[in-house]
């Protein structure tokens, strides 16, 4: 598949194969862009921003709704491509499509709500006799860099608000899974010619170049902390939004509904084979109920169906690559060598890693100190709420958190004391609606997404004051 720059297809002499992680087959190839192509995209995006700024909000909103309809028509086709390149079960891909459609709709609505406000300058010294108001203006060119795990919806979380507030976009999709995003940009180009440009190639080369360019106004990045840190160092004075990794805790207290919490782990630790930023990565459980909880969790884990991700019965797909699965295997094996005990799974087959429940984990094990991006549910046993909160916060991450309890005061204490962008009570961290403010504390990120919040980060405020004295 070619790149799309200035509304035209662009190829390169160098190409990268995109492989299906399930069977290793080549799905397609994409160009490896170099710096000249990145420059072309920057130039075209700067032209397109001048066209967008003249377009009415009414027209932008209608055109975004047209894209919604187009994506709805191609829902199945897009979901299948997503499954082929990422290895996620087809039902999860269809869910990603539904969320993508919803995200676009939210942006179509938000395009009509980009308000300024009137400002009472007479509340300040010497301000009497002024009339002042603010406008929210587009920044210009937004560079969107996205990861492999939810490539479509996470990219739409950047493109859609950017367009809604009249910015042109350059998208650098993930090298391992670029196709669904590129196909979506083709759809968008039918309504907004030239407004969205795709540049494929290596993040370390073109990604790095795009974020350093003085002709780019904003970087919106989702991916790992390591890359996020590099980007923030290279971005200079540009506005930057960083949606980074997570190491989300799930606290389960003595009085919790155990079945509900077990379902929370199944949906939170094993979704997308555990490759979810807000996945349940540490289960911090009260000793009093830990045995019963583990027994039930193992039973439910063993019901997961591993197989061809295109088969609708499959509930556990592959990881993005065999290399990624080997990394998870090594991390789990290291924890076992340090005293942890596997209750279910712990087996790798190619790019598959079996859903794994691992008990007797301590908070100093690499498995839970760093983000383990695989289908692993590590159990950390504790004796009381103080210990649970202490462990939940003993991390550099702070994306989301879940707490299972029926004790109102314990719930409120967790909500207050857990250092994370979101704390859910009686729900696992692995939950998001596309309108909510989403973004972590600590090393999990800077800024928020969720259409309205992304628009705020992709606009600048101008004040206009009229001296009526």
The verdict on 211 binding ligand NAP (CB under 6 A) reads yes
Catalytic residue among 185, 277, 294, 414: 277
Please say which residue, 301 or 372, places its beta carbon nearer to ligand NAP: 372
Angstrom distance (rounded) from CA 351 to CA 333: 17
Number of residues that bind ligand NAP (CB under 6 A): 32
CB 289, min distance to ligand NAP, A: 29
Task: Select from 436, 453, 443 the least CA-distant residue to 419.
Answer: 443
Among residues 85, 92, 191, 243, the one annotated as catalytic is: 243
Nearest to 378 by CA among 250, 273, 253, 257: 250
Ranges within 266-325 binding ligand NAP (CB under 6 A): 277
Instruction: Work out the number of other CB atoms within 10 angstroms of the CB of residue 76.
Output: 12
Reported residue count of the chain is 469
Instruction: State which of positions 132-191 bind ligand NAP (CB under 6 A).
Output: 145-150, 154, 172, 174-176
Closer to ligand NAP by CB, 197 or 405: give it. 197
In 3D space, the residue among 400, 417, 430 whose CA is nearest the CA of residue 243 turns out to be 400
Rounded to 10 degrees, what is the CA torsion of 77, 78, 81, 87? Answer: -120
List of residues 6+ apart from 172 with CB closer than 8 A: 143, 144, 145, 146, 198, 199, 200, 201, 203, 206, 207, 210
Residue 87 is a binding residue for ligand NAP (CB under 6 A) = no
As measured in angstroms, the least distance from the Cβ of 381 to ligand NAP is: 25
Backbone angles phi, psi at 9, to 5 degrees: -75, 135
Is 322 in the active site? no
The verdict on whether 457 is a catalytic residue reads: no
Q: 30 or 342: whose CB is closer to ligand NAP?
A: 30
Closest distance of CB 424 from ligand NAP, Å: 16
- Per-residue binding string, ligand NAP, 3-42, x by CB under 6 A, is ----------------------------------------
Q: Binding to ligand NAP (CB under 6 A): which residues in 190-209?
A: 202-204, 207-208
Q: Is 96 a residue that touches ligand NAP (CB under 6 A)?
A: no
Q: Considering only residues 230-259, where is the footprint of ligand NAP by CB under 6 A?
A: 230-231, 243-246
By Cβ distance, which residue is nearest to ligand NAP?
A: 203
Quickly count: other Cβ atoms within 10 Å of residue 95's Cβ. Answer: 17
Cα separation, 299 vs 88, whole angstroms: 22
Considering beta carbons, is residue 359 or 371 the nearer one to ligand NAP? Answer: 371
Write down the least CB distance from residue 132 to ligand NAP, Å: 36
Residues lying near ligand NAP in the complex (CB under 6 A) are found at 145-150, 154, 172, 174-176, 202-204, 207-208, 211, 222-224, 227, 230-231, 243-246, 277, 371, 373, 399, 445
Which positions are catalytic? 243, 277
């Amino acid at each position: 598949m070619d790149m799309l720059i200035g509304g035209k297809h662009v190829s390169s002499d160098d190409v990268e194969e995109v492989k299906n992680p399930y069977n290793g087959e080549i799905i397609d190839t994409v160009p490896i862009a170099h710096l000249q192509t990145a420059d072309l995209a920057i130039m075209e995006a700067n032209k397109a921003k001048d066209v967008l700024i003249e377009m009415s909000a009414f027209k932008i909103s209608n055109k975004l709704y047209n894209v919604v309809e187009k994506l709805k028509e191609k829902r199945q086709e897009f979901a299948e491509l997503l499954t082929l390149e990422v290895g996620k079960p087809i039902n999860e891909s269809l869910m990603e499509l539904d969320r993508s459609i919803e995200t676009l709709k939210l942006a179509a609505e938000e395009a009509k709500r980009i308000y300024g406000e009137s400002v009472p300058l007479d509340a300040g010294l010497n301000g009497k006799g002024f009339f002042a108001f603010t406008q929210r203006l587009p920044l210009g060119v937004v560079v969107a860099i996205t990861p492999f795990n939810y490539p479509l919806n996470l990219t739409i979380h950047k493109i859609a608000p950017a367009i809604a507030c009249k910015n042109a976009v350059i998208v650098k999709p993930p090298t391992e899974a670029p196709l669904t995003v590129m196909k979506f940009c083709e759809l968008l180009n039918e309504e907004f010619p030239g407004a969205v440009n795709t540049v494929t190639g290596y993040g370390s080369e073109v990604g790095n170049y795009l974020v350093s360019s003085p002709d780019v106004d904003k970087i919106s990045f989702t991916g790992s902390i390591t890359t996020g840190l590099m980007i923030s160092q290279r971005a200079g004075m540009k506005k930057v939004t960083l949606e980074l990794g997570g190491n989300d805790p799930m606290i389960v207290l003595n009085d919790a509904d155990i079945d509900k919490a077990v379902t929370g782990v199944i949906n939170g630790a094993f979704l997308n084979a555990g490759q979810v930023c807000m996945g349940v990565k540490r289960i911090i459980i009260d000793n009093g109920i830990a045995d019963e909880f583990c027994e039930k969790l193992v039973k439910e884990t063993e019901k997961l169906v591993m197989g061809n991700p295109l088969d609708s019965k499959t509930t556990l797909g592959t990881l993005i690559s065999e290399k990624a699965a080997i990394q998870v295997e090594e991390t789990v094996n290291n924890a076992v060598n340090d005293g942890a005990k596997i209750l279910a799974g712990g087996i790798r087959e190619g790019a598959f890693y079996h859903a794994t429940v691992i008990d007797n984990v301590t908070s100093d094990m690499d498995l839970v100190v760093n983000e383990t991006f695989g289908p692993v549910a590590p159990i950390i046993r504790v004796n009381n709420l103080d210990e649970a909160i202490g462990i939940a916060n003993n991390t550099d991450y702070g994306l989301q958190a879940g707490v299972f309890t029926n004790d109102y005061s314990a719930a409120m204490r967790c909500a207050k004391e857990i250092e994370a962008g979101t704390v859910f009570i009686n729900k696992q961290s692995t939950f998001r609606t596309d309108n909510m403010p989403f973004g972590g504390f600590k090393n999990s990120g800077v800024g928020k997404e969720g259409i309205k919040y992304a628009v705020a980060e992709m606009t600048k405020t101008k004040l206009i004051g009229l001296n009526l004295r």
